[in-house]
Structure 1
Amino acid sequence: MAPIDRCMASVAKLSLAPTVRPSISSTIPRFLAPSLVQTRHASVVKIGRKKQVKKSKPLSKDFKRHKLDKADFPQFTLCEALRILRAYEVGKPPGAVKYEMHIHLKTARNGPVIKSSIRLPNPVQSDWQIAVICPEGSDIANAAVAAGAKLVGEETLFQAIRDGNIAFDRLICHELSEKKLQKAQLGKILGPKGLMPSARMKTVVKDVAKAIRDSAGSSDYREREGAVRMAIGQLAHSPEQLKANIEAVMKKLRAQCAEISEENPKEVHEVILSTTNGPGISLNGKFRNLTEEITPQQLSGPM
């Protein structure tokens, strides 16, 4: 039997000897162990063209308008336009359908805006509900009620407006109540509705009764996007009544265009007439051709 120290020496030699591990290539085929094989690929940087961003065309300084001097551009007399438009309103109540006028202007985009009101010879709407801002219980309030005002007052009227109870079509303010109206800060409510009184629109007045009589049959208009749009008559109006309304509006509008400075000139380019359910028809400025078979009397009254 070998001594213990010799056995311990042989065990130490075995523990210090390097172990030989089998190589993968010799024992396992490469195709059976793909996860053990690391493959490297060269990084490819693609150099492409930059995306071209389409630039929007800048807006022209003036609004685009039709070329009315073209030979084939359709334009009609007032009676011809009424004959066409009335055909679209057959069976409609005469008081429910309105004639609308669209006046296209030659003007710059950043030019001054035309805004005013006019009392038409033949009012489109006569049953206006008018409210007056004036001292409550005063002689001014009594005169306003006698002239036909539906609502009068100051704080009570201001609170009704804040609550959304706007039961009127026009709002007139007396000069004595103008400061209280400014302190009430109702411009954000009344402004978008076109009801905010102002001296420019002649709704801040001294004589309330006269202002009520003048505004009862008046119509407001304002230029938007280079055009003035407003109701010009009812279907029950005759061609002569409609002609009188159109002439009154055009006369005042041309006078306003003439008052504007030469740096931002304005002029009337085209007048279009339409109805509630009908198309827009360009007018040539004439009332009636002698060759037309239909008469103005046939274009009046119910259909």
Structure 2
Amino acid sequence: MAKRSRRVQAMRDKADALGTVDLAKAVNELKGVESDLPKGVKPCKFDQTVEIAVRLGIDPRQADQLVRGSIVLPHGIGKAQRVIVFAKGDAAAAAEAAGADAVGDKELADRILKEGWLDFDVAIASPDMMGVVGPLGRVLGPRGLMPSPRAGTVTQDVAGAVKEYKAGKVEFRNDSSGNVHCVVGKMSFDAEKLIENIDALLQHINSLKPNAQKGVYVRHVALSSTMGPGISVAV
């Protein structure tokens, strides 16, 4: 196992000493985790992303226990998302007016398939474009970028979807171990804004509890930053 740097080890020690704390304390401790580092250890200089990890008591092998959704966080995620749209005619014009970074149909699909272009964060499609978008599944699917009705990225209202993602909408889905990971903001956010974003996300995940799931649904929650350790949050 690779040896941890002094900075990483110092922050890990601080996080471990906390144990499990309530959300407000977890956010405040996360924002202050790089303070009081050992002499000579410098804090991170960029605005780190804050992410939450939620371990669910689901069986991810069962199709009726999968958890997937999207939500517009109250305060966004502190990042301008790059959004592309597969549409034509009036829908294409509406998507452009809404601020989409790229709009097209077959030529846009060819750019992805033939040129390997993936310089975007979200892909949206109108339903009539799925014949064009379908072949992109092998490229976009593994990256979590494939348009999906369930995520709201296959829709007649492509302009509305563009506006939502530009405003801070995020998607999430459980992984093969039943964990959900989602960005909830930036370290530069006020603690109150981070707490409100996290509360909104956790409430939404709770609302998606599968009927087939038995026992404890939310088993563990951890909050972390790009370069920082995870802090255990009481559930």
Where on the TM-score scale, by shorter chain, does this alignment land: which range?
0.7 to 0.9
For structure 2, the residue ranges without an aligned partner over 5 or more in a row are 1-16, 36-42
How far did residue 268 of structure 1 move? 0.8
Show the counterpart of 2:75. Answer: 122
- For 1:32-111, list aligned pairs within 5 A: 74-89=19-34, 91-93=43-45, 96-108=47-59, 110-111=61-62
Q: Give 1:145's aligned amino acid.
A: E
What TM-score do the two structures reach when normalised by structure 1?
Answer: 0.63
Task: Pick closer, same or farther for the CA change 1:84–1:171 going to 2, 3 Å.
Answer: same
1:223 aligns with 2:174: yes
Show the counterpart of 1:142. Answer: 93
Q: Counterpart of 2:97 in 1: which secondary structure?
A: helix
- Give the % identical residues: 31
Larger radius of gyration: 1
Q: Decide which moves more: 205-214 or 80-89.
A: 80-89
Show the counterpart of 2:8. Answer: none
Match of 1:187 among 132, 137, 143: 137
Q: Give 2:171's aligned amino acid.
A: D
Match of 2:111 among 157, 160, 181: 160
Q: Counterpart of 1:192 in 2: which secondary structure?
A: helix
Task: Pick closer, same or farther for the CA change 1:169–1:73 going to 2, 3 Å.
Answer: closer
- For 1:217-256, list aligned pairs within 5 A: 217-224=168-175, 225-256=177-208
Q: Distance in 2 between matches of 1:75 and 1:266?
A: 18
Task: Pick closer, same or farther for the CA change 1:154–1:76 going to 2, 3 Å.
Answer: same
Q: Give 2:203's aligned amino acid.
A: K
For structure 1, the residue ranges without an aligned partner over 5 or more in a row are 1-71, 286-303
Q: Give 1:123's aligned amino acid.
A: G
Q: Distance in 2 between matches of 1:221 and 1:122?
A: 17
Q: Counterpart of 1:196 in 2: which secondary structure?
A: coil
Contact 2:27 2:195 in 1 (8 A): no
Task: Pick closer, same or farther for the CA change 1:89–1:164 going to 2, 3 Å.
Answer: farther
How far did residue 174 of structure 1 move? 1.0
Q: Counterpart of 2:76 in 1: which secondary structure?
A: coil
RMSD: 2.2
Q: Deviations over 1:36-70 (max 9, x none)?
A: xxxxxxxxxxxxxxxxxxxxxxxxxxxxxxxxxxx
Q: Give 2:190's aligned amino acid.
A: S
How far did residue 262 of structure 1 move? 3.7
Q: Give 1:208's aligned amino acid.
A: V
> Which one scores higher on RCO, CA 8 angstroms, separation ≥ 6?
2
What TM-score do the two structures reach when normalised by structure 2?
Answer: 0.80
Task: Pick closer, same or farther for the CA change 1:219–1:93 going to 2, 3 Å.
Answer: farther
Q: Counterpart of 2:208 in 1: which secondary structure?
A: helix
Q: Distance in 2 between matches of 1:230 and 1:92?
A: 21
Higher helix share: 2
How far did residue 79 of structure 1 move? 4.0
Task: Pick closer, same or farther for the CA change 1:150–1:83 going to 2, 3 Å.
Answer: closer
Q: Give 1:106's aligned amino acid.
A: G
Match of 2:156 among 187, 192, 206: 206
Show the counterpart of 1:283. Answer: 233
Dislocated runs of 4+, deviation >6 Å = none
Contact 1:78 1:239 in 2 (8 A): no
Q: Distance in 1 between matches of 2:190 and 2:231?
A: 18
Q: Distance in 2 between matches of 1:150 and 1:73?
A: 43
